[in-house]
Chain A
Amino acid sequence: MASSNSLMDNLFQRSLEDLIKGLRLQLLGESFFISKSLEEIRREIKSTDLSTKSIALQKLSYLAALHGVDMSWAAFHAVEVVSSSRFSDKRIGYHAITQSFNDQTPVLLLITNQLRKDLNSSNEYEVSLALECLSRIGTDDLARDLTSEVFTLLGSSKVLVRKKAIGVVLRVFDKYPDAVKVCFKRLVENLESSDPQILSAVVGVFCELTTKEPRSYLPLAPEFYKILVDSRNNWDLIKVLKIFAKLALVEPRLAKKVADPICELMRRTVGKSLLFECIRTVVSSLSDQETALKLAVAKIREFLVDDDRNLKYLGLHALSIAAPKHLWAVLENKEAVVKALSDEDPNVKLEALHLLMSMVNEDNVSEISRILMNYALKSDPFFCNEIIASILLACSRNSYEIIVDFDWYLSLLGEMARIPHCQRGQEIGHQLIDIGTRVKDARLELVRVSRALLIDPALLGNQFLHPILSAASWASGEYVEFSKTPYEIAEALLQPRTSLLAPSVRAIYIHSTFKVLVFSLAVYFSAQEPISSPLVEESTSSGSSPVNGITHKSISSLVNMIEIGLCSLSGTLDVEVQERAKNVLGFIGMIKHKIAEKVTTQESETEASRAVAFMEDVFSEELGPVTSTAQEKVPLPDGLELKESLEDLQEFCGEFLKPVVDSNSNSNSFSSSENISFSVAKLRISDQKEASSSSSHPPESASLLAEHRKRHGLYYLSSQKNDDHNDNNGDNNNTLNEYPPANEISVDSFNTKKKMNQSKQRPVVVQLDEGDGLKTKPDASNNDEPLSRAIQTALMGKGKEKEREKDNHERDLDSRIKGRSSGREKKTKKKNGEKSSKHRSRRRSDKESSAAEPVEIPDFLL
């Protein structure tokens, strides 16, 4: 019965072709057809007849490859099919296995013997199926178990088999480094093969091996050199060039040696692929070879002016490889690069943009930015934003290293905001604030640019610009003393279209309005009684645009405008907006009638002026940039256990809450504290305390803050306030002088010195000591992989191996022991093998054992 079923299956089974035809007929419901076919396949694949089974498996492979059907469940059936004696079944089986197996496939263990059998088959096409399979799914175990078969095949007389055996070596070495001991010599011998197919295969393998760990293959340089000089096959030459590109980086003498043949190739070849590889090799690895480099750059120019977009793109690509070391190559081709910006091809455009950015320096930054901004205006949105992003990135690098004229840069940022496609609001806004905090001299311009942005109601409609507007509003409030027209700014901040802003941005708008209001009031009060507020006097005298024209009339209209503008917001749903609006309104309510009184009374120290002076104090603290490593700089105080569990915190807190309340006079409490919970609780509570006390006693606020700093100096970063910096606040009162900003500020004196002799002096840019950029740890070289060690052992004597081991400090002890023992093993093996090996390799090893050179380069270089 079963056999008749199977016969029926066999007769009426859909072939793969039927399945494909069926699929093509399904205009709709393809997935239904697939699931129906899958049912069929599931039934057929269980058949006892191997050919039925294999056709089912083939259909499944097809569906898996092109329709994303899972076939991992059929792994066992694939193993069954592969064991068939019929070639077509076997092929289907191997195809299924390579397609669906991975390291975790449980039935993987079952194919080792089948693979061995097929690798030993007399039919070269069966061998080649097995080799293909091994090269795709070879695991550590498979590689180990089949190494000897691969070794045999490496010497096969059949070219088809031998080249695939060479190909599989890559996978075998990768999974089972000890295979190097067995196979490496035969692999190297193939480098001298006269058969072009074999040579291609082995050069390809060495190219891959060299990419992973160049140093190990230096001893083979003579063989590669021979191919470089003799070969006429572009495929091989490209691979050999890639090998030399890697080798020349670890052995500079090689660069000199190969420069001539590469130049020769560049002059001779007609193949663009080979020519490009020569160029790439020269610009990336032979950049000290003057003649080669000149020739390569000349060839690049030919690529750049070629009509073929591929060549143009690759020419730009080659230039960008050359750019870091040889900027002249880019500068020479500047016109071509700029022209490429308007190319239709997005790749070409992007590559040209990167190149342009690589040649930006302080002299040409404004010219290049001008060109780019023009392109940004007429480009598609994607490229436009790429341009904006690259300008922003290049200009802000190393704390705006290349910017000399910050006024120009700020107005550029302002222009960017007005480019219709601009979506980089976040970065632009960030830079506006960053420059504001870092570059004191640029603040006047910043306020001007911000004003222009704020008063334009059109910008409020574009939500990508909201971060810019947020930054502009903050700057206008923070640096309001530079503004000629505070009234106008307040008006802009309160314009009706601000309802389009997100609540968080709106809150900043309101807060800035508050700052503008306080500033105007302070000026108003101080104008009439100069003695009362030194702070305001300072700011009016230092600010480059003294606002003296604030009259009673203008101040009351300002107050009225703000009051009306904010009234509607006091009922907003968003609490942040609501609270800020209410704060301002509350302040206005307190101060409003005093303004009128001010004209009549002659009392010098009114409540109103005290309140205003206090608010002025609140906003007077200068904000500086904060380094990303600020937290790390705080030394860990004694007794502070950061890693301790805080489970019992509750208990401690309850205990210490009480004493803190009356510890106001105990200024030394922190240093006497004994454990973390105590100090944390105390800090927080005393902070609160200070906040509340300062609000009740306004004039004391500054001194209280100073005291806080004295007590908890640890949490403030050490400040080295530069004289240059204090010039502007030269007549600060004492309180302020002993209370420098919390953020650490040091002035980049190096940069200013460097640029002294320029026509326009670069303003001081505040730089943080370190850590402005993210620190990147240099990658520890990972050349102690088992594979490279094995290869070094295979190529060198034991002594060299020892040296290398010394070099690799990071190697752990365990693997070192392993490495030595394997080295020893190798040595004994090698002694036997060497006698029979060609005189060339003996000469090499002889030379190595005698030479004291740290790098193992055979004599052909010297």
Chain B
Amino acid sequence: MIKAVMMLNTQGKPRLAKFYDYMPVEKQQELIRGVFSVLCSRPENVSNFLEIDSLFGPDSRLVYKHYATLYFVLVFDGSENELAMLDLIQVLVETLDKCFSNVCELDIVFNYSKMHAVLDEIVFGGQVLETSSAEVMKAVEEISKLEAASNSISLVPKSVSGWRGR
């Protein structure tokens, strides 16, 4: 199971954070800070894995990847493979790259909703459900279309939108 997905920038600001077990927001912030403090102390060119039991409880592992100004972080337990999780970050980044064509930190900052749409197609309730970025893109585009359609309806007066919605 994946326990958490995070994207932090190199200053430690979270750009996306998703915890698959319920956690109060204070705890979430504490974990984000904890993860960042470990990450920023790591030199370049070292392994991408961390033992993180102290933050996330026993049998927790963390894999991260550093792209430009961002850390992509996955926290997971023993039923995932470390190298596969590293690949999953790759899948995520590739998908985002297709989504935003040359993704950069700003895309992630301003596309909160779309980021979650992408992530929710890949990781479902902590399980990896999709690893093909083409499939993810297909779903995300469908979702965007649906949203656009429902938003265009909202410009029409309410009574009419109710009628057209049927």
Contact B147 A309 (CB under 8 A): no
Query: Within the assembled complex, what's the spacing in Å between the Cα atoms of A205 and B128?
Result: 10
Give chain A residues whose Cβ lies under 8 Å from the Cβ of B25: 64, 68-71
Evaluate whether A314 and B83 lie within 8 angstroms (CB atoms) in the complex, with A20-B109, A201-B129 already known: yes
Contact A132 B146 (CB under 8 A): no
Evaluate whether A204 and B128 lie within 8 angstroms (CB atoms) in the complex, with A276-B82, A345-B46 already known: yes
B112 part of interface (Cβ distance < 8 Å) = yes
Residue with the greatest number of chain B CB neighbours at <10 A, chosen from A58, A85, A205, A348: A85
Contact A273 B83 (CB under 8 A): yes
Contact B46 A346 (CB under 8 A): yes
Contact A238 B127 (CB under 8 A): no
Please name the residue on chain B nearest to A95 by beta carbon: B116
Nearest CB on B from A341, distance (A): 15
A301 part of interface (Cβ distance < 8 Å) = no
Nearest CB on A from B149, distance (A): 7
Query: Within the assembled complex, what's the spacing in Å between the Cα atoms of A62 and B153?
Result: 25
Query: Within the assembled complex, what's the spacing in Å between the Cα atoms of A101 and B25?
Result: 11
Contact B124 A200 (CB under 8 A): no
Contact of A164 among B18, B26, B113, B124 (CB under 8 A): B124
Interface string of A133-171 (1 = CB under 8 A from B): 001110000000000000000000000100110011011
Interface string of A47-83 (1 = CB under 8 A from B): 0000100000010001011101111000000000000
B56 part of interface (Cβ distance < 8 Å) = no
Residue count of chain A within 8 Å CB distance of chain B: 65
Contact A135 B124 (CB under 8 A): yes
Please name the residue on chain A nearest to B117 by beta carbon: A91
Please name the residue on chain A nearest to B25 by beta carbon: A68
A656 part of interface (Cβ distance < 8 Å) = no
Query: Within the assembled complex, what's the spacing in Å between the Cα atoms of A92 and B151?
Result: 13
Interface string of B74-91 (1 = CB under 8 A from A): 000011011110110000
A87 part of interface (Cβ distance < 8 Å) = yes
Nearest CB on B from A734, distance (A): 57
Query: Within the assembled complex, what's the spacing in Å between the Cα atoms of A164 and B86?
Result: 23
Nearest CB on A from B137, distance (A): 13
Give chain B residues whose Cβ lies under 8 Å from the Cβ of A234: 84
Contact A132 B125 (CB under 8 A): yes
Interface string of A301-313 (1 = CB under 8 A from B): 0000000011011
Evaluate whether A167 and B129 lie within 8 angstroms (CB atoms) in the complex, with A68-B25, A276-B81 already known: yes
Interface string of B1-25 (1 = CB under 8 A from A): 1000000000001111110101001
Query: Within the assembled complex, what's the spacing in Å between the Cα atoms of A160 and B142?
Result: 12
Interface string of B108-141 (1 = CB under 8 A from A): 0110110011001000111111110001000100
Give chain A residues whose Cβ lies under 8 Å from the Cβ of B29: 68
B28 part of interface (Cβ distance < 8 Å) = yes
Give chain B residues whose Cβ lies under 8 Å from the Cβ of A91: 113, 117, 143, 147
Interface string of A251-282 (1 = CB under 8 A from B): 00000000000000000000011001100000
Give chain B residues whose Cβ lies under 8 Å from the Cβ of A235: 84, 128, 131
Give chain B residues whose Cβ lies under 8 Å from the Cβ of A276: 81-83
Query: Within the assembled complex, what's the spacing in Å between the Cα atoms of A861 and B98?
Result: 47
Query: Within the assembled complex, what's the spacing in Å between the Cα atoms of A197 and B147?
Result: 25
Contact A65 B17 (CB under 8 A): yes
Contact B130 A347 (CB under 8 A): no
Contact of A132 among B15, B43, B120 (CB under 8 A): B120
Contact B28 A310 (CB under 8 A): no
Query: Within the assembled complex, what's the spacing in Å between the Cα atoms of A276 and B84?
Result: 10
Contact B125 A200 (CB under 8 A): no
A16 part of interface (Cβ distance < 8 Å) = yes
Query: Within the assembled complex, what's the spacing in Å between the Cα atoms of A309 and B50?
Result: 12
Contact B110 A20 (CB under 8 A): yes
Query: Within the assembled complex, what's the spacing in Å between the Cα atoms of A24 and B106?
Result: 11
Please name the residue on chain A nearest to B132 by beta carbon: A197
Residue count of chain B within 8 Å CB distance of chain A: 57
Nearest CB on A from B113, distance (A): 7
B165 part of interface (Cβ distance < 8 Å) = yes
Residue with the greatest number of chain A CB neighbours at <10 A, chosen from B87, B127, B143, B151: B127
Contact A125 B129 (CB under 8 A): no
Contact A88 B79 (CB under 8 A): no
Query: Within the assembled complex, what's the spacing in Å between the Cα atoms of A344 and B47?
Result: 10
Query: Within the assembled complex, what's the spacing in Å between the Cα atoms of A344 and B78?
Result: 26
Contact A125 B17 (CB under 8 A): no
A723 part of interface (Cβ distance < 8 Å) = no
Query: Within the assembled complex, what's the spacing in Å between the Cα atoms of A205 and B109?
Result: 33
Residue with the greatest number of chain B CB neighbours at <10 A, chosen from A70, A88, A197, A272: A88
Contact A197 B135 (CB under 8 A): yes
Contact A273 B146 (CB under 8 A): no
Contact of B81 among A200, A273, A345, A346 (CB under 8 A): A273
Q: List which A463-513 residues lie within 8 A (CB) of chain B.
A: none
Contact B150 A86 (CB under 8 A): yes
Give chain A residues whose Cβ lies under 8 Å from the Cβ of B1: 208
Nearest CB on A from B135, distance (A): 7
B102 part of interface (Cβ distance < 8 Å) = no
Give chain B residues whose Cβ lies under 8 Å from the Cβ of A71: 25
Interface string of A326-344 (1 = CB under 8 A from B): 0000000000000000001
Evaluate whether A136 and B20 lie within 8 angstroms (CB atoms) in the complex, with A312-B47, A346-B46 already known: yes
Query: Within the assembled complex, what's the spacing in Å between the Cα atoms of A88 and B25?
Result: 24
Contact A164 B47 (CB under 8 A): no
Query: Within the assembled complex, what's the spacing in Å between the Cα atoms of A222 and B22?
Result: 36
B53 part of interface (Cβ distance < 8 Å) = no
A364 part of interface (Cβ distance < 8 Å) = no
Q: List which A624-671 residues lie within 8 A (CB) of chain B.
A: none
Q: List which B55-112 residues lie within 8 A (CB) of chain A.
A: 78-79, 81-84, 86-87, 109-110, 112
Residue with the greatest number of chain A CB neighbours at <10 A, chosen from B48, B112, B151: B112
Contact A197 B79 (CB under 8 A): no
Please name the residue on chain B nearest to A347 by beta carbon: B47
Please name the residue on chain B nearest to A65 by beta carbon: B17
Contact B82 A314 (CB under 8 A): yes
- A88-B150, A310-B48 known, 7 other contacts, Cβ within 8 Å: A58-B112, A68-B29, A197-B129, A197-B130, A234-B84, A344-B46, A346-B42
List 11 A–B pairs whose Cβ atoms lie within 8 Å, in order of A's numbering: A66-B14, A87-B146, A87-B149, A88-B146, A125-B146, A170-B125, A208-B1, A211-B78, A309-B46, A310-B82, A345-B46
Interface residues, chain A, with chain B CB atoms under 8 Å away: 16-17, 20, 24, 51, 58, 62, 64-66, 68-71, 85-89, 91-92, 95, 101-103, 123, 125, 131-132, 135-137, 160, 163-164, 167-168, 170-171, 197, 200-201, 204-205, 207-208, 211, 234-235, 238, 242, 272-273, 276-277, 309-310, 312-314, 344-348
